[in-house]
A and B are shown apart, each in its own frame.
Chain A
C-alpha cells in the first residue's frame, strides 16, 4: 500500500512518522474494546494539530476514503472499528490542556487529552470535570464527547453533553466548525449535536469543558442486601422519595464473588447484592441525607450497612466497584459488558428478567448497574473458543436489550450504538425517526465518508 497515492499524500502532510500503513502495523487497530467485529484500516495517521486533521480529511475526500476518528480505543460498542477500511485518525498526539480558567469554570483541551490527565491537571484547584467513565484512566475527552460518555456520578452531575461548553471539529468537507464556548443564540447548538455522534458528523479536535466545583463534603456507604430484589426496590424507593445521591451503584452476587475472590473485601458470603451510595454537597445537610439513606436501606432489608468513616474507607468502597469489571476476567476468558437502560422504577423487573434470560440461554450473567439512573450493565460470560457458547451469549444479550426496549427504555445509556447495537435502532425508532437522523447525517456528510456503518443503519 506504500505506493498508493493516498499514502503518499498523507505522508506529505504528516511526515513519515505520522502515517502507518504496513499490514503488521495496522493489525492492532482492527477494533476497539468491542472485539467481535474487526477490520484493519488502510492507514493510521497521527495528526498533531487541527491543520493536520484538515489535511487528512481533505486527502481522504480526494481519494474517496472513509475517515474514522479514534481516541484511546476504549469504546465498548465498536465505534472506532474501521468497518469499511479507510484512514483511522488517531487523536492521541493532540494531548495538550490548552487553558484552565477557574473564574469561567472552564477548561479547553485538545481532543486526545485523556480524561485522567485533565483530572490530574485540576487536582488541587477545587474543580473537576464531572464525567467519570470507568475507562477514565485511558479514554480521551474527544472520545468521551463522541460517545457522550457517562459514569457513576452522572446520576447527580449528568453525562458528557451536560459538561461540554464548546468544541472545534473538522467536518467532512475539510472546513473547521467552532461552536462555543460562549453560547450563541444565533447558532444551532453544535456542541450538543456532535456529542454522542460517534465521529459520524465530524472529527472533534478541541473541546471546551465545564468545570464543576468539588463538593464541600462527601459521604459513602455500602449496604449489603440478601437479594437483588431487595436492593433494587430500595433504589426505586429512594429515587421516588426525591433522594438523588451523587452515585448509586449496584453489584449482584455474581460480580461480588469475582471481586471477593480477587481482592478479599470481606463481603458476607451470602450477600445477594451490594449498593454503594455516595452523597456529596455542603456539609450542613449531609448527615441528615445519610441518615435517611441508611433508613431506606434498613427498611429495604439490608443486612449490613457500613458507613465510610474516612476518605480512605470511602476510597476502599469505591475500589471494589471500580475493580469489579476487571475481576470478571477471573470468572471466564471472555465477556461482553452490556449497557441497557430502563425507567428507574423498572430496575427490579429488568434485573429479574435478566436472571430468567441467563437460565433460558444457559449463559452466566453477572450484574453491575448505575442503579439510580436505571442503567444496567449485565456482563455475559462465555468462552470465545466455543462457538455455540458465543452464539448463546449473543442471543442472551439481544434478549436483555429487547427487554429494556419493552420496558420503555433504551439499548444504550452511555456506551453508544457503534456497530454492536446498530440492529436495535430499527426496534427503538420508527422509519421516519431514522430517516430524520439520516438526513442530519447527510447534511454534515453527504458522501457518507465519516465513520460509515455506525450509529444508524444504512
Chain B
C-alpha cells in the first residue's frame, strides 16, 4: 500500500536510490550511469514527481537531499549560495535571521528543495509582484549527462560574462544538468503584509474589478481569482452560493504603503457589486499565499493576462465541476478537474482543454499526471511550439546519451 502511494515508485521505474553527500559523488553516480547507459532521475523533496508522465527506462533515482549545506549567506551583499538539496523552509529560515527573504511561493516548502524549485520553475500567487525564481538565480553549478560539472553566472547581482547557464536550467526539468549548487539574490524582508478578499456574484464582476485593480494606484503582489470548490469556506467564510467567486489581492511592503493600498481597495470594493469584503492581516496573509500555492491543481494554462478569465470560463464550460484558481496578473489558470472529467482525461485534453488554451494563444500542461500511466508525454506537455529541433540540439549537447530524466519532460 505504501509503495502505491509513493510517487517515486509510481512515476519512476524500479530504481536504485543514490543519496550523494557532495557534488563529487553526484559526478561519480552520473558517470557510472552514463557508462552503463542507465537513466538518472533527479529527485529533490519528491513533492512534484507527478509533474511529467511516468518513465519506464531503468536507472537510478539520484536524491539530492543530502546536498544540504549552506555555502555562504553574504547577508550584506544580499546574496545566498546553497547546495541544491536545501529546502525552501531552510532558505527562508536562514534569510529571516538577517531580515531577508526569497519571495517565492512553493508547495510543501518543508520538503521542496531549491534545486527542484528551479528545475520545475515552481511558483505561486506572489509571482505577480515578485516573478519566479528565474529572476533571483545568479549562479549555478550542475552536472551534465556525461558526469561533467559546469558552472555559470557567479555571486554578483549583475553579470553578463558568458551565456546565462543558470537561467537556461530554470524549468528544464533536470534534462540538461543536475543542479548541485545555486547562488541567489535576495530581498529585504517586508515590514508587513495584508490581503483584501471580495466575494463577488460572478466571474464577470471579478473581471471588471481586476481590470480596475490593474489600473488603480495600488501595488498588489498577488491577484487571484478563486472559484468555489477549493474549500475556501474552511478558512472561515461560508460560501453558500456556488456561483460566487472570490477575488483576493495581496500586498507586501512598508507599513504606510500597505495600509494605504488596503484602505483604498476596501473602499473601492465595498462600493462595487461585492457581497462581502474582508481583510486578512499580516498574521493570516502568508498562510493564504501558502494555502493557494498548496491547492491541488491538476492542470496549468498560460495565456496573456487579459485572456485569463476568458480561458477560465471556457474551461468551466468544458468541465462544469472543476475548481479554478487564476493568477490574474500573470495569465495563469490552474484547474482541479471533476472526477468525471478525470475519467475521460486523455481525450478531453486533446479535443477540448488544450485547444481552448491554444485558441487563445496560450498553452496548457498537466501538473499532476494522475492516475499514473494513463497520460502519455504529449498528453502532459502538448506540442505547442516550433523549437523542437534546436531544443533537441541543446539536449544533445548536454546529455548526448539522453540519460537525464528520460521520458519525464519533452525529451
Between A and B, 25 residue pairs with Cβ closer than 8 Å are A106-B304, A147-B160, A154-B158, A175-B390, A177-B390, A185-B363, A186-B385, A187-B391, A190-B390, A192-B168, A192-B170, A193-B167, A213-B219, A240-B76, A282-B217, A285-B256, A289-B254, A344-B76, A373-B157, A421-B161, A428-B154, A429-B152, A443-B394, A443-B396, A456-B162
Interface-forming stretch among B9-17, B34-42, B142-150, B312-320? B142-150
B229 within 8 A of A: no
With CB as the reference atom, state the residue of chain A lying closest to B144: A436
Could you tell me which residues of chain A, from 320 to 349, have a CB within 8 Å of some CB in chain B? Answer: 341-345
Given contacts A413-B159, A436-B144, contact A242 B99 (CB under 8 A): yes
CB distance from A376 to the nearest CB of B (A): 11
Q: Which of A150, A178, A341 has the most CB of B within 10 A?
A: A341
Contacts of A455 in B (CB 8 A): 162-163
Contact among B156, B171, B172, B306 for A374, CB-based, below 8 A: B156
With CB as the reference atom, state the residue of chain B lying closest to A440: B163
Q: Report yes or no: B257 in contact with A417, Cβ–Cβ below 8 A.
A: no
B321 within 8 A of A: no
A309 within 8 A of B: no
Given contacts A185-B300, A188-B172, contact A103 B214 (CB under 8 A): yes
Other than A182-B363, A186-B385, A417-B162, give 20 A-B pairs with Cβ distance below 8 A: A148-B164, A161-B164, A171-B390, A182-B303, A184-B363, A187-B387, A192-B134, A192-B168, A242-B99, A281-B219, A282-B260, A375-B158, A408-B156, A410-B161, A428-B161, A428-B162, A429-B161, A435-B150, A440-B398, A444-B393
Contacts of B390 in A (CB 8 A): 171, 175, 177, 190, 443-444
A196 within 8 A of B: yes
Q: Report yes or no: B99 in contact with A189, Cβ–Cβ below 8 A.
A: no
**A103→B207 CA distance, assembly (Å):** 12
A interface residues, tally (CB under 8 Å): 89
CB distance from A80 to the nearest CB of B (A): 15
Given contacts A345-B74, A439-B397, contact A188 B79 (CB under 8 A): no
Q: Report yes or no: B164 in contact with A195, Cβ–Cβ below 8 A.
A: yes
Q: Report yes or no: A186 in contact with B156, Cβ–Cβ below 8 A.
A: no
Binding site for B on A (CB under 8 A): 101, 103-106, 126, 147-148, 150, 154, 158-159, 161-162, 171, 175-179, 181-190, 192-193, 195-197, 213, 216, 236, 239-240, 242-244, 281-282, 284-285, 288-289, 341-345, 370, 373-375, 408-417, 421, 424-425, 428-430, 432-437, 439-444, 446, 455-456
B280 within 8 A of A: no
Top 6 A-B residue pairs of the complex, sorted by shortest distance between their CB atoms: A242-B188, A436-B150, A439-B397, A285-B254, A240-B76, A186-B381
**A154→B172 CA distance, assembly (Å):** 26
**A415→B100 CA distance, assembly (Å):** 29
Q: Report yes or no: A343 in contact with B156, Cβ–Cβ below 8 A.
A: yes
Q: Report yes or no: B387 in contact with A432, Cβ–Cβ below 8 A.
A: no
B341 within 8 A of A: no
With CB as the reference atom, state the residue of chain B lying closest to A210: B131
With CB as the reference atom, state the residue of chain B lying closest to A429: B162
With CB as the reference atom, state the residue of chain A lying closest to B99: A242
CB distance from A435 to the nearest CB of B (A): 7
Contacts of A239 in B (CB 8 A): 76-78
**A162→B158 CA distance, assembly (Å):** 11
Q: Report yes or no: A440 in contact with B362, Cβ–Cβ below 8 A.
A: no
Could you tell me which residues of chain B, from 252 to 292, have a CB within 8 Å of some CB in chain A? Answer: 253-257, 259-261
Q: Report yes or no: B363 in contact with A345, Cβ–Cβ below 8 A.
A: no
Contacts of A192 in B (CB 8 A): 134, 164, 167-168, 170
**A408→B139 CA distance, assembly (Å):** 12
Q: Report yes or no: A443 in contact with B393, Cβ–Cβ below 8 A.
A: yes
Q: Report yes or no: A374 in contact with B158, Cβ–Cβ below 8 A.
A: yes
Q: Report yes or no: A185 in contact with B160, Cβ–Cβ below 8 A.
A: no
**A289→B191 CA distance, assembly (Å):** 13
Contact with A along B75-106 (1 / 0, CB 8 A): 11111000000000000000000011000000
Contacts of B391 in A (CB 8 A): 187-188
Report the contact-size class of chain B (Cβ under 8 Å from the partner). 35 or more
CB distance from B80 to the nearest CB of A (A): 12
Q: Report yes or no: B394 in contact with A282, Cβ–Cβ below 8 A.
A: no
Q: Report yes or no: A105 in contact with B76, Cβ–Cβ below 8 A.
A: no
Contacts of B253 in A (CB 8 A): 281-282, 285
**A40→B276 CA distance, assembly (Å):** 69
Contacts of A456 in B (CB 8 A): 162-163
Q: Report yes or no: B386 in contact with A342, Cβ–Cβ below 8 A.
A: no
Q: Report yes or no: B305 in contact with A437, Cβ–Cβ below 8 A.
A: no
Could you tell me which residues of chain B, from 390 to 411, have a CB within 8 Å of some CB in chain A? Answer: 390-391, 393-394, 396-398, 409-410
**A181→B257 CA distance, assembly (Å):** 31
Contacts of B152 in A (CB 8 A): 429, 433, 436-437
Q: Report yes or no: B304 in contact with A178, Cβ–Cβ below 8 A.
A: no
Q: Report yes or no: B386 in contact with A178, Cβ–Cβ below 8 A.
A: yes
Contacts of A213 in B (CB 8 A): 219
**A184→B365 CA distance, assembly (Å):** 9
B302 within 8 A of A: yes
**A147→B260 CA distance, assembly (Å):** 39
Contact among A159, A179, A196, A446 for B387, CB-based, below 8 A: A179
**A197→B382 CA distance, assembly (Å):** 28
**A67→B148 CA distance, assembly (Å):** 31
Q: Which of B79, B302, B304 has the most CB of A within 10 A?
A: B304
With CB as the reference atom, state the residue of chain A lying closest to B135: A162
Given contacts A105-B305, A285-B253, contact A240 B75 (CB under 8 A): yes
Q: Report yes or no: A408 in contact with B154, Cβ–Cβ below 8 A.
A: yes
**A148→B162 CA distance, assembly (Å):** 11
B126 within 8 A of A: no
B361 within 8 A of A: yes
Contacts of B74 in A (CB 8 A): 343, 345
CB distance from B40 to the nearest CB of A (A): 17
Q: Report yes or no: A242 in contact with B100, Cβ–Cβ below 8 A.
A: yes
B201 within 8 A of A: no
**A105→B383 CA distance, assembly (Å):** 26
Contacts of A284 in B (CB 8 A): 254, 256-257, 259-260
Q: Report yes or no: B384 in contact with A186, Cβ–Cβ below 8 A.
A: yes
With CB as the reference atom, state the residue of chain B lying closest to A103: B306
Contact among A150, A421, A424 for B158, CB-based, below 8 A: A150
With CB as the reference atom, state the residue of chain A lying closest to B51: A185
**A49→B189 CA distance, assembly (Å):** 47
Q: Report yes or no: A412 in contact with B159, Cβ–Cβ below 8 A.
A: yes
**A187→B78 CA distance, assembly (Å):** 31
With CB as the reference atom, state the residue of chain B lying closest to A438: B397
Q: Report yes or no: A415 in contact with B188, Cβ–Cβ below 8 A.
A: no
Contact among A101, A373, A443, A444 for B306, CB-based, below 8 A: A101
Contacts of A434 in B (CB 8 A): 162
Q: Report yes or no: A177 in contact with B134, Cβ–Cβ below 8 A.
A: no
Q: Report yes or no: B77 in contact with A345, Cβ–Cβ below 8 A.
A: yes
CB distance from B98 to the nearest CB of A (A): 9
Contact among B151, B219, B303, B381 for A429, CB-based, below 8 A: B151
Contact among B135, B149, B215, B255 for A432, CB-based, below 8 A: B149
